[in-house]
Amino acid sequence: MADIQSIKNRFGIIGNSPALNYALQVAIQVAATDLSVLIVGESGVGKESFSQIIHALSSRKHNAFIAVNCGAIPEGTIDSELFGHEKGSFTGAVDSRKGYFETVSGGTIFLDEIGEMPLGTQARLLRVLEAGEYIRVGSSKVQKTDVRVIAATNKDLYESAQNGKFRKDLYYRLSTVPIRVPALKERKEDIPLLFRKFVVDFSERYKTTPVQLDDEAKNLLINYHWAGNVRELKNIAEQLSVLSKQQIITGPELQQFLPEKSGNRLPVLSSSQPANGEFANEREILYKLFFDMKKDVTELKKMFLEILKNPSLENMAASFTSESLQRDHVLNSSDYNTPVLQNIQPAALPSVTQSSNQPVIISGKNDIHEHEEVEESLNINDKEKELIIKALKKHRGKRKDASLDLGISERTLYRKLKEYDIDE
């Protein structure tokens, strides 16, 4: 059996963490068999290197090896790419074509991002794994192949299988021998070794002196959350090798090359709100906030139009207090309780205390002495439903025109129709 250190030297693998050594040990042991292997790990941890190790140590090492990224092939052509097609089987098929399972017969095929494979193609792949048979697109002839399949994913395939997004039978067939490649944050002791290897390689390529890290920069590098794993670390090393003006990199200088740890600046849910409630994530909170703010602006526009259409309301603007303006235009949402237009003076914006359908009694030509209010619901959801119904009637059920008139997107209108159970 091959020695782990010799395998590291041969394939350029840097690191001595126990998790990495265990994954390599499993790859070495399974290489001599023809079992299917599922390599699991985050993006950028080097899953393809493990597939090459398994092929190079197998009895198929003198035959073909091909890596296929399932997520990069369009759904309409992936069957043709993997299994081939017959002439005239679809538009553009001007000639017959062999698929990867035919050209690589006797060798190894590495299916990267297997979780992105369409369900129909998964059924075809399962038949290859179980019986070594496949059918070209547009053909009825069963063909044989002898290919070892190594798959890789950065997703939780078990969860995808439970949710119906991945075939359970294929999952259990692929995961005969699972290999988990540890993320870089799980092997922090290897980060300085990897960084030193990368900067030396780049200094040779760009004819420069290798950069070094002081203690502060080294601690920062080790404790950084490497979302892109080894690939991200390599990019940082290359940037420093090219752009750094100093040979010794300090902590503040290194910080300039590291992305901020938290790229999510959206508001978070309070602890009193359930994570699976009406607002399951921050984006939905923002959407609702923007929608309600836009609706308030739309209501203000409607009031201006009513004043322009009815000259008798023209002198009312200067008579109302800021309290009435605030009372009629405050969001009643319990999610954020944000008052709107608190600082607008009544002389600057003409307004009315109620909607245009509410009668106002004026006793004089220029002065307003009293007004009568008709009781009506001030619930913002009732008003929203009423405006949607009016807009649909006005535009004879045309959603696109109604959504433009309401100042919302057609998609939001469709969601509101379902929410309020409005029959078009």
Residue 398's domain is classified under what CATH number? 1.10.10.60
Strands 108-112 and 148-153: parallel
Residue 218 belongs to a domain with what CATH number? 1.10.8.60
- DSSP of 250-268: PHHHHHHHSPPS----S--
Task: Identify whether residues 215 and 152 lie together within a single domain.
Answer: no
Predicted confidence at residue 96, as pLDDT, reads 92
Task: Kindly report the pTM of this predicted structure.
Answer: 0.60
Of 146, 167, 182, the one marking the end of a domain is: 182
Provide the token pair at 148. 């070892």
What is the distance of C-alpha 11 from the center of its chain? 32
Instruction: Please give the residue range of the domain that contains residue 236.
Output: 185-257
Return d(Cα 290, Cα 296) in angstroms, integer.
Answer: 10
Angle CA 187–190–195, to nearest 5: 130
Residue with tokens 């070594």: 132
Same domain for 359 and 270, yes or no, is yes
* Strand-pair category, 212-213 with 248-249: parallel
> 32: domain CATH number?
3.40.50.300
Note whether 358 and 343 are same-domain residues: yes
DSSP assignment letter at 312: G
Could you give the C-alpha distances from 264 to 67, 272, 286, 409, in angstroms and in order?
34, 21, 13, 25
Same domain for 55 and 176, yes or no, is yes
And the tokens for 43? Answer: 């993006």
Q: Which two tokens stand for residue 384?
A: 């929203």
Q: Show pLDDT as tens, one digit a residue, over the chain (424 residues).
A: 468 999 999 999 999 999 999 999 999 999 999 999 999 999 999 999 999 999 999 999 999 999 999 999 998 899 999 999 999 888 888 899 999 999 999 999 999 999 999 999 999 999 999 999 999 999 999 999 999 999 999 999 999 999 999 999 999 999 999 999 999 999 999 999 999 999 999 999 999 999 999 999 999 999 999 999 999 999 999 999 999 888 999 999 999 998 865 444 444 444 444 444 444 456 566 666 666 777 777 777 777 777 776 655 555 544 444 444 444 444 444 444 444 444 444 444 444 444 444 444 444 444 444 444 445 566 777 788 888 888 888 888 888 888 888 888 887 887 888 887 787 6
- Do 143 and 250 have their domain in common? no
Amino acid (1-letter code) at residue 204: E
Same structural domain, 8 and 152: yes
Same-domain check for residues 60 and 208: no
19 Cβ contact list (under 8 Å, min separation 6): 180, 182, 186, 187
What is the pLDDT, as a whole number, of residue 363?
Answer: 43
- Give dist(CA 158, CA 278) in Å, integer: 27
Answer yes or no: do 335 and 251 share one domain.
Answer: no
- pLDDT attached to residue 239: 94
Q: Which residue has the tokens 């993006």?
A: 43
Whether 214 and 128 share a structural domain:
no
Same domain, 18 and 83: yes
Task: Provide the pLDDT for residue 277.
Answer: 43
Answer with the one of 257, 289, 307 that is the final residue of a domain: 257
Strand partners, 212: 248
CA distances to 24, 110, 169, 201 from 55, rounded to whole Å, are: 13, 9, 25, 26
- Judge if 285 and 358 occupy the same domain: yes
CA distance 347 to 359: 22
Which of 376, 394, 410 represents a domain boundary (last residue)? 376
Q: Report how far apart, in Å, the C-alpha atoms of 165 and of each of 32, 77, 171, 320 are.
A: 32, 20, 11, 59
Query: Cβ-count burial of 355 within 10 angstroms (0-12 exposed, 13-18 middle, 19+ buried)?
Result: middle
Q: Which two tokens stand for residue 223?
A: 């404790």
* DSSP character at residue 423: -
What domain count does the chain have? 4
Query: 420 exposed, middle or buried (CB, 10 Å; 0-12, 13-18, 19+)?
Result: middle
Length of the chain: 424
Planar angle of CA 268, 273, 275, nearest 5 degrees = 70
Same domain as 356, residue 242: no
Identify whether the C-beta of residue 99 lies closer than 8 Å to the C-beta of residue 147: no
Which pLDDT score, from 0 to 100, does residue 333 have?
42
